[in-house]
Amino acid sequence: MGAAAGTIRGAPDVDVIIVGAGISGIGMAVHMQKDCPDRSFMLLERRADLGGTWDLFRYPGIRSDSDMHTLGYVFEPWREQKAIADGPNILAYLNRIADERDVRRHIRFNHKVISASWSSADALWTVEVEKDGGKRETLRARWLYMGAGYYDYDEGYDPGFAGQDKFKGRIVHPQFWPADLDYAGKKVVVIGSGATAVTLVPNMADTAAHVTMLQRTPTWYFIRPAEDRVANFLRRIFSEETAYKITRFKNVHLQNIGFKRARKKPEKVGEFLLDKIRDELGPQMNEADFTPPYNPWEQRLCLVPDSDLFVAMREGRASIVTDHIERFDKNGIVLKSGRHIEADVIITATGLKLAVAGKVKVSVDGEPIDWHRHFYYKGMMFSNVPNLSIVFGYLNASWTLKADIVSTFTCRVLNHMRDTGEDIALPELSDKEAKAAEVVFDFSSGYVQRALAYLPQNGLKDPWRLNQDYLHDKHMLLHGPVADSVLRFAKAGTLTVHQNSHVELAPLPMAAE
């Protein structure tokens, strides 16, 4: 559906609406102040406080699964000794930035974005929000920046285990951790083997009688110190800013080298990772519990800081069982092997549900957007969706690395539009190009595979590819041209937006989990 030529009817409330006041949203606000000081903005946050993920998740030991020299912002040094930080310290970092950089006054808390509709005639987004008590409000902006994360805040993934109603103990999903949960001296089973489970097990083992990590599939683990000794040494001889830049450079390049080596020589990388666990567990190690059926970095590596998981196992406070669940019973879990694991508390660390654009209902010129019919553009906009950028962080590196460069490129686009007098920026994809694009998503993680039917499409080549290569993206977004052969600029009322409405794109077959 297109728009007839006309003039802009009504003025926007702000130039840019930022959805979410977590890492992505706060970062964009600072970049706006620095790179687009002549533009107005507001942040809409559905919760009562900032922090996003780090405000939502409250389970024991919650921490970063990336080093804070890359999970921190490019513009703000991480000043703590520990590079693998816990949730409260990350929240303190975000709050300090929001206060010191005057971001907080731009945030509207308890404002949940329900829908966003674009008008090509007006070159404006109309955003409907729900406030406390259910009251609705409408806001208008020239640009929409989606910093709401990539998973569903309302639901975690629930595989639906048989017999859950028969279990006499307590069942908890980590995303909704109850403040009154008492597991001291109790037998705990944590179902899962991802980052959440690996964090929970050693932390709960400090007070529980015993914690069993029950996994269907083993995971690749990477052991590293919680403190970065090089970073802390550099801080003693350089300024905080200089030490941070050097450490960030080091960590980005080491991670990039490690990822590419895992893709080229997976057997050697796998053996290296297993050797580290053998050193920790010695004869206690059951190789089957630590040998995944996939190569390193085909799913995200799980970080084990200071080997805390393996220390708990070595001391007999925790253990790992690899098996499939038959059913729950009143006293625990029956496995398909016939084994029974007793439990007083069961934690279902079974993963997240992905959500696109914070589940906001988006439409363009009256036509609802089906994200699965759209392709990523430079990993931060979508084909045939105007004036909208989004952060989808890396699966093989820190989220904030992507958030920083997406914010910078968005500001570059806004400044280009100001300088040329244009109102609309549209990554234009024709039906022919959409049909010819090869769809790929080379991560086999369950949460990604479960969402393929509704995630946006990922093409084989730039600019329609969601890359997992920060250095490549950094060059493209920070140093590549803004006005390329794909990103089309236009004035309000002069552009017809085509939605590839008849292009049928089947999801990829799901990989075995």
Fold of 158-350: FAD/NAD(P)-binding domain (3.50.50)
Q: Does residue 157 contact residue 354 with C-beta atoms inside 8 Å?
A: no
Model's pTM, two decimal places? Answer: 0.91
Per-residue DSSP letter, 86: B
Whether the ω angle into residue 283 lies within 30 degrees of 0, i.e. cis, is no
What's the pLDDT score for residue 508? 36
The tokens for 335 are 């496995």
Give CA–CA dist 506/511, Å, rounded: 15
Q: What is the pLDDT of residue 265?
A: 96
DSSP structure string for 348-412: E---EEE-SGGG-EEEETTEEP-GGG-BEETTTEETT-TTEEE----SSS-HHHHHHHHHHHHHH
Long-range own/partner contacts, residues 248-257 (CB < 8 A, 24 or more apart): 248/69, 248/70, 248/72, 248/74, 251/67, 251/69, 251/70, 252/70, 252/397, 252/401, 252/470, 252/471, 253/471, 255/70, 255/396, 255/397, 256/397, 256/469, 256/470, 256/471
Q: Quickly list DSSP for 33-82.
A: HHH-TTS-EEEE-SSSSS-THHHH---TT-B-SS-HHHHS-TTS---SSB
Residue 323's Cα: distance from chain center in Å?
29
- pLDDT attached to residue 394: 87
Domain 14-153+355-490: assigned CATH number = 3.50.50.60
Residue listed under structure tokens 């109850």: 178
Question: Can you tell me the distance from the alpha carbon of 155 to that of 146, in angstroms, rounded to the nearest whole number?
Answer: 19
Domain chopping of the chain, boundaries: 14-153+355-490, 158-350
Task: Identify the pLDDT of residue 3.
Answer: 38
Tell me the sheet residues that pair with 19.
Answer: 44, 146
What pLDDT digit, counting tens, does each position of 210-256 carry?
A: 999 999 999 999 999 999 999 999 999 999 999 999 999 999 999 99
Segment holding 310, helix H or strand E: helix 308-314
Pairing of strands 302-305, 170-172: unpaired
Beta bridge pairs of residue 471: none
Q: What is the pLDDT of residue 438?
A: 53
Q: Which residues of the chain have pLDDT under 50?
A: 1-8, 501-513
Give the CA angle between residues 112, 114, 120 to the nearest 5°: 125
Count CB neighbours of 108 within 10 A.
15
> Which pLDDT score, from 0 to 100, does residue 8 have?
42
Tokens at residue 223, please? 């052991």
Phi then psi for residue 137, to 5 deg, are -140, 145
Q: What radius of gyration do the chain's Cα atoms show?
A: 24
